[in-house]
């Protein structure tokens, strides 16, 4: 049995990699997952050497429908007791929906929504049997409003927030807490992967480091906070959205996401 394990999806870069480092520093064993095996192997070596924890990894494309059950099978075969589930893997795609590549939209839906939900569904029953266990879902400040030019991405993050808050309520009489982390723009590989270099978003908002987001995410998860929004300006977003007409909010989001050229 590998006890006290944190399962981190999207651990090969950015926020997920930093969350894995923090979990190791705090004494958790780890199960890392992403598609890039070399990165996971290097991270395993780094964390085992530096923190003396046990690190396993499982390479998988979580956008594939059979991926969550395969990962769960690995958890069961290795008798891994997941105390922390970090649903962090996620992708975006910049541009008009009607001009977008359908396969990219479909993979985004499968990763950001389907895999997160399926993995939680598979792992949660065992977590409920523990005295204390934690789920950390990585959404975004995108969760609070519609996002023209990244319409599907914003909608996936609204789903993550809604789902997380709902199951946090369902689980209130158990030892499992659910924290939905909402970062604003963050330095990582996300911007390039999402073709966002043309967007003005990263010029218009303060940009945090992945480490800052991960430290905040870990701290708020341990406290059992339900919604964790990083940064003063970002904390203001849901408040402003709540008192503004929806059409105005959508126009502002479009302005923020405008193309540079
Ligand atoms: N960066 C931002 O500005 C920002 C802001 C708000 C929220 N977020 C959210 O933060 C989370 C982490 O993103 P990040 O900023 O750290 O970006 P990142 O550096 O691009 O990391 C994304 C991670 O997800 C993994 N991943 C992507 N597609 C996958 C797939 N099909 N199957 C399995 N793993 C996959 C990647 O690993 P492989 O490529 O090796 O598979 C990588 O480890 C995402 O959910 C993102 O939506 C980011």
Q: Is 82 in the pocket of ligand 1 (CB under 6 A)?
A: no
Ligand 1 centroid to Cα of residue 203, in Å, is: 20
pLDDT at 3: 65
R_g over Cα of the chain: 18
Does residue 153 have an active-site annotation?
A: yes
Residue 258 DSSP one-character state: -
pLDDT at 259 over 90: no
Structure tokens, 103: 């396969």
| pLDDT > 90 fraction of the chain, expressed in percent and rounded | 93
Q: What is the pTM of this model?
A: 0.97
Residue 200 phi/psi, 5° resolution? -85, -5
Q: Is 145 in the pocket of ligand 1 (CB under 6 A)?
A: no
**Range 2-257 has CATH code 3.30.43.10:** no
Mutate to test the pocket of ligand 1, among 7, 12, 14 (most ligand atoms within 8 A of CB): 14
Half-sphere exposure of 24 (CA within 13 A, CB side): 25
pLDDT grade for 254, boundaries at 50, 70 and 90: very high
Are 72 and 119 within 8 A, CB to CB?
yes
Beta strands in 146-248 (DSSP E): 176-182, 186-187, 208-209, 227-229
Q: Is 12 in the pocket of ligand 1 (CB under 6 A)?
A: yes
pLDDT grade for 2, boundaries at 50, 70 and 90: low
Q: Which atom of ligand 1 is nearest to the CA of 111?
A: 31
- CA–CA dist 16, 257 (Å, integer): 24
Half-sphere exposure of 183 (CA within 13 A, CB side): 27
Average pLDDT over residues 235-240: 92
Q: Is 185 in the pocket of ligand 1 (CB under 6 A)?
A: yes
Q: Which atom of ligand 1 is nearest to the CA of 39?
A: 40
177-205 pLDDT per residue, tens: 999 999 999 999 999 999 998 888 888 88
Catalytic residue among 94, 153, 154, 230: 153
Q: Is 42 in the pocket of ligand 1 (CB under 6 A)?
A: no
User: Which protein residue's CA is at the shortest distance from atom 41 of ligand 1?
Assistant: 35
pLDDT at 1 over 80: no
pLDDT grade for 20, boundaries at 50, 70 and 90: very high
48-62 pLDDT per residue, tens: 999 999 999 999 999
Cα-based angle 188, 193, 196 (whole degrees, multiple of 5): 85
> Three-state secondary structure along 51-100?
HCCCEEEEECCCCCCCHHHHHHHHHHHCCEEEEEEEECCCCCCCCCHHHC
Q: Which of 114, 245, 84 is nearest to 175 (CA)?
A: 84
User: Which protein residue's CA is at the shortest distance from atom 46 of ligand 1?
Assistant: 90
Q: Is 143 in the pocket of ligand 1 (CB under 6 A)?
A: no
Domain ranges of the chain: 2-257
């Amino acid at each position: 049995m590998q006890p006290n394990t944190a399962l981190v999806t999207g651990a090969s870069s950015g926020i997920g990699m930093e969350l894995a480092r923090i979990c190791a520093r705090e004494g958790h064993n780890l199960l890392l997952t992403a598609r890039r095996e070399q990165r996971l192997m290097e991270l395993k070596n780094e964390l085992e050497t530096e923190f003396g924890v046990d690190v396993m990894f499982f390479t998988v494309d979580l956008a594939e429908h059979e991926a969550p059950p395969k990962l769960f099978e690995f958890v069961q075969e290795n008798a891994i007791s997941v105390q922390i589930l970090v649903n962090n893997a996620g992708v975006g795609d910049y541009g008009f929906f009607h001009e977008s590549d359908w396969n990219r939209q479909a993979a985004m839906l499968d990763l950001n929504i389907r895999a997160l939900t399926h993995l939680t569904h598979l792992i949660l029953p065992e977590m409920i049997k523990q005295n204390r266990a934690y789920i950390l879902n990585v959404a975004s400040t995108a969760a609070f409003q519609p996002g023209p030019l990244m319409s599907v991405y914003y909608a996936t993050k609204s789903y993550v927030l809604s789902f997380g808050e709902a199951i946090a309520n369902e689980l209130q009489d158990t030892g499992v807490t659910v924290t939905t982390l909402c970062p604003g723009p963050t330095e990582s590989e996300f911007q390039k992967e999402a073709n966002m270099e043309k967007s003005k978003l990263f010029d218009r908002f303060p940009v945090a480091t992945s480490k800052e987001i991960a430290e905040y995410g870990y701290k708020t998860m341990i406290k059992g906070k339900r919604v964790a929004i990083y940064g003063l300006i970002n904390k203001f977003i849901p408040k402003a959205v709540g008192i503004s007409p929806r059409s105005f909010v959508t126009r502002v989001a479009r302005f923020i996401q405008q193309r540079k050229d």
